[in-house]
Amino acid sequence: MIRNYTDIKVFTCNAHPVLAQEIAQKLDVTLGKSEVMKFSDGEISVKIDEKVRGTDVYIIQPTSTPANEHLMELLIMIDAMKRASAGRITAVLPYYGYARQDRKTRARDPISSKLVADILQTAGADRVLTMDLHCAQIQGFFNIPVDHLVGMPLLTKYYADKLGEHVDDVVAVSPDLGSVGRVRSFATKLDIPLAIIDKRRPKANVSEIMNIIGDVSGKRVILVDDMIDTAGTICNAANALKERGATAVYACCTHGVLSGPAMERIESSAIEELVILNTIAIPEEKKISKIKEISVAPIFADAIRRIHEDLSVSKLFD
């Protein structure tokens, strides 16, 4: 039976309240009243301060650093909503943590992204809304609907506006073989050629050898990836491209995890500008001049509106 929910209510935990507020404003609704607190021993407590019975509830919470804490906040809020008789509960994860643990690469490895999917469903989520999963097949780990948004249209629009018609000397570059499909789509949208970096490590503790497939000499290059964590891959790639004659190196990604030595590496690398979508909250101390953020609030707000009104979400991929 199809049920029409009369109200949209948007709530947030503590991972990214700024993004949640932006999404609520785009939807022309007030951010839901709730509190996510801790007891003195570190246990998480959630309090919902308004009626949600029968409503269409969306909880905004990227499971970014600290991943375990933010995941528990989301699970407990989902449980609170379910026990408060919310009509439908959608977990909105702009960034889905544990996505890199999507398969067994050696004996006795866990498949943690599947475990997270099971836990979200057990907590009471009726559907999931996310963006640029590290591995798209993770959608199959769920037995509930998953709407998988892509950040590519936001990035291609930014560079189309930035570059205009002056793209004769621009090349899109994949930092590794696993990102070729994503970068090919990016290059096609901007009508620019593609180059690929083939990384090889001859033996342990020996620097990577970079083989670049394609012409980058005398070109402005744009490195495209889904996420940047410690920034080793993207910075090594940028430096290799500069050594091979690239005149300028830009980079972009959907998820700016930026952990460990990432900031020092980016600062000292050949990257002139790094464009990141704000799926993860970036602390003030990491907002350096090289980094530019683009908000994903418009696309998430459109997706929520379409889900609520039973319209196609795939239109947002164009």
Condensed to tens digits (0 to 9), the pLDDT of residues 76-87 reads 999 999 999 999
Give the pLDDT confidence of 5-20 residue by residue, as tens digits.
668 999 999 999 999 9
Q: What is the pLDDT of residue 199?
A: 76
pLDDT at 179 over 90: no
pLDDT at 204 over 70: no
| Torsion of Cα atoms, 5 then 11 then 17 then 18, to 10° | 30
**Which among 82, 114, 189, 199 is annotated as catalytic?**
199
- Which are the contacts of 220, defined by CB distance < 8 A and separation ≥ 6? 169, 170, 171, 246, 247, 248, 249, 250
Q: Residue 69's CB: how many other CB atoms inside 10 A?
A: 17
Q: For the chain, percent helix, then strand, then coil, each to nearest 5?
A: 35, 25, 40
Q: What is the pLDDT of residue 96?
A: 97
Give the helix/strand (H/E) hosting 12: strand 8-12
Give the pLDDT confidence of 215-241 residue by residue, as tens digits.
999 999 999 999 999 999 899 999 999
pLDDT at 196 over 90: yes
Averaged pLDDT for residues 244-266: 96
Q: What is the pLDDT of residue 165?
A: 85
Query: What's the mean per-residue pLDDT of the chain?
Result: 93
Q: Is the dihedral of CA 169, 170, 172, 176 positive or negative?
A: positive
Position with higher pLDDT, 21 vs 318:
21
Q: What is the DSSP string of 95-123?
A: S-TTTT--S-SSTT---HHHHHHHHHHHH
Tokens in use for 112?
């943690």
| Active-site residue flag, 47 | no
Averaged pLDDT for residues 61-67: 96
DSSP 8-state symbol, 32: P
Share of the chain above pLDDT 70, in %: 95
3-state SS assignment for residue 138: helix
Share of the chain above pLDDT 90, in %: 85
Residue with tokens 């001859």: 202
Q: Are 223 and 238 in contact (CB under 8 A)?
A: yes
Q: What is the pLDDT of residue 1?
A: 37
AA identity, residue 78: I
Give the pLDDT confidence of 267-305 residue by residue, as tens digits.
999 999 999 999 999 999 999 999 999 999 999 999 999
pLDDT at 40 over 90: yes
How many Å apart are CA 43 and CA 162, to the nearest integer?
47
pLDDT at 243 over 50: yes
pLDDT band at 185 (very low <50, low <70, confident <90, very high): very high
Which of 87-91, 119-123, 163-167 shows the lowest per-residue confidence on average (mean pLDDT)?
163-167
Q: Residue 227's CB: how many other CB atoms inside 10 A?
A: 19
Q: What is the pLDDT of residue 209?
A: 62
Q: What is the pLDDT of residue 2?
A: 45
